[in-house]
Structures are given as structure tokens and as C-alpha cells.
Amino acid sequence: MKMTRRTVMSGAIALAGSVVLPGMSWANATLTVGTGTLDTLSDGHLVLPRSFVLADTVAADADVVLEPFGLADADTFMPDCNLTLWRNGDRVVLFDAGSGPDFMPTAGHLMAAMDALGLTPEDVTDVVFTHGHPDHLWGVLDDFDEPLFANAQHHMGQIEYNYWTDPGLPDTILPERLTFAVGAARRLEVLAETINLFADGAQIIPGVTARATFGHTPGHMSFEVAAGDEVIVVLGDCIANHHFAFARPEWPNGSDQDTTAGVATRTALLAQLADADTVFVGFHLPTPGIGRALRNGETFQYVAMT
């Protein structure tokens, strides 16, 4: 695999000859995988309260892990949002749809990142959801509540779809996540007649295989993307950061809806990825989000691919 990184100045691009073009954003990295091309695209970043990530972890214990990352005593975390675009043959596959304009002002910049690659929403043939949280689903509709990716087939795991479209969900979900439920239901209702639903192990697109990674949400899916003999894994949020998730995978993550299942998924998956030296993309890993897991005794370390 060969990775190429591009950096475009936020707000302006400085070109040779002192020409400055305003208003552009960035596409993060391009990775050649067999006959295909994988890009990560920045949708911006989130701003999360410390408690949302740490759950009930003792603050002093957390700071020991956070200190090497310059995050000890931080009141908020600002995780990057890295969407994955896979192009192989005639397929242009977007994993997740980003936040759109309605979630956080620091996110929702996918269209600028696609524009930097010379792509439009109409070019996308498939939109594959890892799960239904706002930063992954809410960007799927345009300003008229029509599918933004008008020519695309949309795909979501059956369990995940059933969860977010359950009419009783608003009565059972945590109050602070009620907007998650309402927002997901509205968007999935628009897609209901055309969305492709699938189970663990399904090959939803040639070379793209679903892998159950439940816990962050009830039906969270990751995806193995293969071209020839090479494979890369699109993780979504089952490994949600580059510090706690690797250094203390057995600690509960407050962003997981089922923290017990999240721990089980994370610990098993990290061991598999590390032992196989598998390259992966993490939605909330530091931009551009592509790397490997390295064993460090009983824990792990995130190693960014350069």
C-alpha cells in the first residue's frame, strides 16, 4: 500500500506565484489498495465534553493516559471526523455521510473535501453506514430533505436500522441522546423504500464485506475492503479514539451505548488487527485516520501510517 497526503490551507490555498484562492477545504490522504483507491475526507471535528468520553473513569487515572497526548485536565475533546471514500472500477463508495449542517458548527464539511477531489454527490454510487449517530448519518439529506447522494444505493445493517426506526426508541433512549433518535428516524424514513439492509458477513458491494462490531451502537458495523490480496478495514467508531481505546481498551467508553459490548468488541478487534498488522481507518482517529495497532504488552498503541 502506498499513501499520499495532501494539505490544503483552511480558508485559502496558496499556489506558486503567490496566487491565493479562498474558500477551499481539504482531502486528507489517498491510499492505493490493489486496483482501488481509498481516500479519507475530513468532515471537520466534534467538540465533546470530557464526561461523554470518560464515563465513570477516575479522573486521576484518566489523566495518566492522557498526559502523553497533551490532554490531561482537558475539559473537552475535539476528535477529527474522517470519512472514507473507496473507488474501484465503476464504484464510488462513501462510508458514512458526515454530520451535515444540523449537528455541530465544527463539522459538516464533507462537500468541501469532495470538491477538493473534483467529486460531486452525484458521482457517489453507494453510501454505506457504519451506524446511525448524527456525525455519520445526518449529512445524508439535502436542504429539501431529499437524498443528497441522489444516484447512490444506501446500505445499513438490519439490526442498526431496526434500532433507529423503532417507534418506541424515543421513550427508552437516554434523554441526552433523544435528538439522536429523532434525527435518525427522520432521515431513515426518507431512505426507507430504497435502503439495502444486510447482516454480519454480507458482501454488500464487490470487495466490501460487513463485519459486526456491536457496542458503540446496537448494530454497529465495520467493513473489510479488499482489492486483490490487500485488505483495509473501515472501523467506524468501534475504536473511537487514539488514547484510551488503545492504552486501556478494557475501560468503558462513555460514547458507547452498550459499554460492556463495546469493551468486548474493542479488545478482541485490537488483538486481531495488531496480530495481522492490518491497516485500518478510524473515523475519530487523528486526521487522516489511517494506521495500525501495535501491541504494547497487554495493551496497544496507535501508529499512524505516513
What residue segments make up the domains of the chain, in order of their start?
A: 26-304
* Coil/strand/helix, residue 257: coil
Q: How confident is the model at residue 28 (pLDDT cuts 50, 70, 90)?
A: confident
| DSSP strand pairing (19-22 vs 76-77) | unpaired
- The reply to whether CATH 2.60.120.560 applies to domain 26-304 is no
Q: Mean per-residue pLDDT for 50-62?
A: 85
Q: What is d(CA 45, CA 49) in angstroms, rounded to the nearest whole number?
A: 13
pLDDT at 21: 37
pTM of the model: 0.91
Query: Is the pLDDT assigned to residue 149 strictly greater than 60?
Result: yes
pLDDT at 228: 85
Query: Is the pLDDT assigned to residue 17 strictly greater than 50?
Result: no
pLDDT tens per residue, range 115-139: 989 999 999 999 999 999 999 999 9
Q: How confident is the model at residue 55 (pLDDT cuts 50, 70, 90)?
A: confident
pLDDT at 269: 97
Of residues 264 and 54, more confidence is placed in: 264
- Region of 96 on the Ramachandran plot (φ > 0 left; ψ -120 to 50 alpha; else beta): left
Does residue 265 contact residue 238 with C-beta atoms inside 8 Å? yes
pLDDT at 191: 97
Rg of the chain on CA atoms, in Å: 19
pLDDT at 56: 79
